[in-house]
Amino acid sequence: MDIQNIKDWGLNIKVSENKPLIISGPCSAETKEQVLQTCKKITASGVHILRGGIWKPRTRPGSFEGLGIIALPWLIEASKQTGLPVCCEVANAYHIEEAIKHGVHILWIGARTTVNPFAVQEIAEAIKGIDIPVMIKNPVNPDLELWLGAFERLSKVGIKKFAAIHRGFSVYNSTKYRNEPQWEIPIELHRRLPNLEIICDPSHIAGKRSLLYEVAQHAMNLNFDGLMIESHINPDDAWSDALQQVTPKGLKELLSQLIVRQTDTDNLNYQNKINHFRNLIDQIDSQVLDMMDQRMNIVRKIGAYKKESNIAILQIERWRYVRDTCLAKSNKLEISQKFVEEFINTIHNESILQQTAVMHKK
């Protein structure tokens, strides 16, 4: 896929080396003063792109759904007063036409739109032939293919100025977060499209101010390219997402506390040490696989023996014993019980598959 990096979007966005790109601004544009005051105050904290919601996809009717086009000139005014480009969410051809007509610099597709291939295709048709950067949020459900599919639909109509926004995934009974980060999904996206820059949206993952920092820091630890953080001149009175928006001062503090990690270093000492440890890990991984191979060899022998003796593959007491023994051992190791549980489950599933194959063999 042909992808142009943010610095090549022609918007004069300059991010210092080893620093994240920062997108900030209110969840929703509410009044001209709120947009202008928020945007002017956050500019000093090193924000690169301003955001403001014009059309808000609310989960249930009755919540504030955005002011629509009357608020677009406020975003443009904020851009003029700060010298920064602005972005807003678009969900259909009408939004795109209006946003572009008013002079919005960057569009983003929201999580509730990425999820729907019809909507993404409509957006692609509307954008065809227009040179505008598009950021695509992950779909609400943890489906990497759907996220990739949205990039492909836009790529097919000639869009090259792309970035991804990771905003977490909906679950039925969310515990700590508003949306589960499931970091392995953006990591896999990065593996599949290494040139695509990924921006983390701690606001919609966290859902509350107190968790923003740890989510943002984790994104930095994983070497994300940027952060999108909602800010508001008076968050407690915000018309949408009041709990998660920060004041301009809060944004400044959060950003100043972030520890930004480098991707690599020329330091020879570091490289020697890391190579030494990585070699050890590679050897252990290889041993683990060899041992799994040996384990499955025994599993197949047992499978043949069970077949001969007309015994079922699964004996629940035996499985309970294997699982409980591993979990008990995990208490004595520095490995989480959750990991051990998933690990032994995976091994057990493979063992059942292997014995099933043996049973089916003529």
Binding span for ligand PEP by CB under 6 A among 33-41, 107-115, 289-297, 316-324 = 107-115
Give the DSSP letter of residue 360. Answer: H
Residue 186 interacts with ligand PEP (CB under 6 A)?
no
H helix or E strand, kind and range, residue 312:
none
> Could you give the 3-state DSSP secondary structure of residue 162?
strand
Q: Does 167 bind ligand PEP (CB under 6 A)?
A: yes
CB of 137 to ligand PEP, least distance (A): 5
Q: Cα dist. 315→37, 105, 207, 348, 352 in Å?
A: 67, 62, 44, 12, 11
139 is a contact residue toward ligand PEP (CB under 6 A): no
- Helix or strand run (H / E) with residue 86: strand 86-89
AA identity, residue 205: I
Helix (H) or strand (E) holding 22: strand 21-25
110 belongs to the binding site for ligand PEP (CB under 6 A): yes
Under the criterion CB under 6 A, does residue 106 sit at the interface with ligand PEP?
no
Q: In this complex, which beta carbon is closest to ligand PEP, that of residue 139 or of residue 250?
A: 139
| Residue 137, contacted partner among ligand PEP, Mn ion, none, CB below 5-8 A by kind | ligand PEP
Query: What angle in degrees, to the nearest 10, is found between the helix axes of 209-221 and 248-257?
Result: 30
How many helices (DSSP H) and strands (DSSP E) are in the chain? 13, 8
Q: Return the one option of Mn ion, ligand PEP, none that residue 111 interacts with (CB less than 5 to 8 A, by type).
A: ligand PEP
Looking at the Cβ atoms of 199 and 340, the one nearer to Mn ion is 199
Which residue of 241, 248, 251, 358 would you call a contact of Mn ion, by CB under 5 A?
Answer: 241
Give residues 31-50 in contact with ligand PEP (rule: CB under 6 A).
Answer: none
Q: What are phi and psi of 338, to 5 degrees?
A: -60, -45
CB of 99 to ligand PEP, least distance (A): 14
Q: What is the DSSP string of 106-148?
A: EEEE-HHHHT-HHHHHHHHHHHTT----EEEEPPSSS-HHHHH
Q: How far, CA to CA in Å, does 341 sit from each of 142, 184, 295?
A: 22, 18, 18
**204 lies in the binding site for ligand PEP (CB under 6 A):** yes
Candidate list 27, 39, 159, 255; residue touching ligand PEP; CB under 6 A: 27
Residue 217 neighbours by CB under 8 Å, 6+ apart: 258, 259
The site partner of 232 among Mn ion, ligand PEP, none (C-beta below 5 to 8 Å per kind) is none
For ligand PEP, which is the closer residue by CB, 67 or 111? 111
Please, what is the minimum distance in Å from the beta carbon of residue 108 to ligand PEP? 7
The residue range among 21-29, 207-215, 266-274, 309-317 that interacts with Mn ion, by the rule CB under 5 A, is 21-29
CA distance 132 to 9: 8
Residue 92's CB is within 10 A of a number of other CB atoms, namely: 13
Residues 245 and 27 sit within 8 Å (Cβ to Cβ): yes
Amino acid residing at 361: K
The rounded distance, in Å, linking the Cα atoms of 327 and 336 is 9
- Candidates 62-70, 110-118, 148-156, 291-299; binding stretch for ligand PEP (CB under 6 A): 110-118
Q: Identify the residue among 27, 50, 189, 216 touching Mn ion (CB under 5 A).
A: 27
Restricted to residues 287-346, the positions that interact with ligand PEP (CB under 6 A) are none
Closest distance of CB 301 from ligand PEP, Å: 52
Interface residue list for ligand PEP (CB under 6 A)? 27, 53, 57, 110-112, 137, 167, 204
Which residue ranges make up the site for Mn ion (CB under 5 A)? 27, 241
